[in-house]
Amino acid sequence: MGRLDGKRALISGTGGGIGRATALLCAREGAHVVGCDLHAETSDETVELVRVSGGRMDAIAPVDLASEQGARRWVDTAVALAGGLDILVNNASAIRFGPIDELSFADWSFTIRNELDIVFLVIRAAWPHLVAGGGGSIVNVASISASRGAFFMPQNAHGAAKGGVLALTYQLVVEGGPHGIRVNAVSPAMTETPHTTPLLQDTDGPAASIAARAPLGRWGQPEDVAHAILFLASDESSHVSGANIPVDGGSAAVG
């Protein structure tokens, strides 16, 4: 028996990193996963990995979830493919960095659009399906940067966007409760993904100091985040709504 047997799970950004790890884990636990990504090649790779391991997964790519049309197209098509919706994982994002006196308004707006607007648009498209189905679980991928500054890179737009994701999460707890919709978040710290690997492999970069600041002495892996998502997606957390689980090696607990 899998922890998600019979569940229909929509997971965004499944082309790699946390999204791929979550798709693999949820499919292994019995869910029918429908993913999406901007990049068709990496999206197809994830689908193949799931199917080879005996899981069930479909995906739509390329799709831009930060547009109203793209978000609605993915959600409606995914619900049709899966025959319903029980779990929504908002993982997809895109970021631009820069110190406050150098970050352009265009880069700020790009980050807000692709880290906050994208979550709103997907949830808004999925909400009627969740209500019609009698409820479900939404898990939003936020960040430790939503509640503290980053010492190794200026993350003002990223932190602001993910802070908005947490605020939206808490409001939807209230709105979703009467419909049986649970809404929670996970907040990773530095996690080794295709996007962060170059930074972590740079011998002159901040990798050593990032690991040293985490009480557990290492940065995260995508699977670390995926397992936290699995708990919040499953019926094991049936009385949990409004939680924000740090997946950060203990970093949030120290100064």
Domain boundaries, the chain: 8-193+219-246
Closest of 58, 65, 84, 77 to residue 123, by C-alpha: 65
CATH superfamily of 8-193+219-246: NAD(P)-binding Rossmann-like Domain (3.40.50.720)
| Distance between CA atoms of residues 221 and 144, nearest Å | 15
Sheet holding 136-141, edge to edge: 56-60, 32-36, 8-12, 87-90, 136-141, 181-188, 244-247
What does pTM read for this prediction?
Answer: 0.96
| Distance between CA atoms of residues 116 and 103, nearest Å | 18
pLDDT of residue 252: 85
Q: Judge whether 162 and 111 are in contact, CB under 8 Å.
A: no
| Distance between CA atoms of residues 201 and 196, nearest Å | 9
pLDDT of residue 255: 61
Sort 77 into a burial class: Cβ within 10 Å, 0-12 / 13-18 / 19+: middle
pLDDT of residue 96: 95
What type of residue is 33?
Answer: V
| Distance between CA atoms of residues 219 and 93, nearest Å | 20
Show the CA angle centred on residue 108, arms to residues 104 and 112, nearest 5°.
165
DSSP string, the chain: --TTTT-EEEEE-TTSHHHHHHHHHHHHTT-EEEEE-S-HHHHHHHHHHHHHTT-EEEEE-S--TTSHHHHHHHHHHHHHHHTS-SEEEE---------TTT--HHHHHHHHIIIIIHHHHHHHHHHHHHHHTT-EEEEEE--GGGTS--SSS--HHHHHHHHHHHHHHHHHHHHHGGGTEEEEEEEE-SB--TTTHHHHH-TTSSHHHHHHHSTTSS-B-HHHHHHHHHHHHSGGGTT--S-EEEESTTGGG--
Q: State both tokens at 190.
A: 């530095």
pLDDT of residue 23: 98
Return per-residue pLDDT of the chain as tens, 255 residues: 899 999 999 999 999 999 999 999 999 999 999 999 999 999 999 999 999 999 999 999 999 999 999 999 999 999 999 999 999 999 999 999 999 999 999 999 999 999 999 999 999 999 999 999 999 999 999 999 998 888 778 899 999 999 999 999 999 999 999 999 999 999 999 899 998 888 889 888 888 888 888 999 999 999 999 999 999 999 999 999 999 999 999 988 886
